[in-house]
Amino acid sequence: MLQSQFDPAARQALATRAVAAKTLKDLSWQQIADAAGLSVAFVTAAVLGQHPLPAPAARAVAALLGLDDDAALLLETVPTRGSIPGGVPTDPTIYRFHEMLQVYGTTLKALVHEQFGDGIISAINFKLDVRKVADPDGGERAVITLDGKYLPTRPF
């Protein structure tokens, strides 16, 4: 039976242990996702405490990381989501995403509403992809795809 978490501290502690094991074993997030049989974005979010893993995936991830059965079971629980505590993030990478939304959030909202109407883009029925591509001007660029289902607002 699917269980829900009451206190995010247990998943946060597990995330700390899992990342330590990942580092010790010199694994990539992609290798962990391959063991789980799911996308790298979803598995990374799950290991970091933002999604539950299906039982077979949770067991595979726990085994790969050398975590016990209790950890595997905890990876299956529905977490208390939200990984950024209140206020402006201080981590530079997360801050830049915050900055992007500060600058382009109203633009995204305006374009979504113009093209789709009144509604939201789901973060539940959602896919995320991160790719590194060559920049024609030299260096590298990050291509981040946020692919969420549109959910219209319905009058009632």
- 3-state secondary structure at position 147: strand
Q: Which of 11, 76, 81, 96 is catalytic?
A: 96
Q: Which of 122, 131, 140, 141 is catalytic?
A: 122
Catalytic residue at 28? no
Q: Where are the alpha helices (DSSP H) in the chain?
A: 9-24, 29-36, 40-47, 55-65, 69-75, 92-116
Q: Which of 4, 28, 81, 99 is catalytic?
A: 99
Catalytic residue at 76? no
CA–CA–CA angle 72, 78, 80 (5° rounding): 115
Catalytic residue at 83? no
End-to-end CA distance of the chain: 34
In the numeric block, which tokens belong to residue 35?
């063991």
Q: In Å, what is the CA distance from 125 to each residue of 16, 66, 99, 118?
A: 27, 31, 24, 18
Give catalytic residue positions. Answer: 96, 99, 122
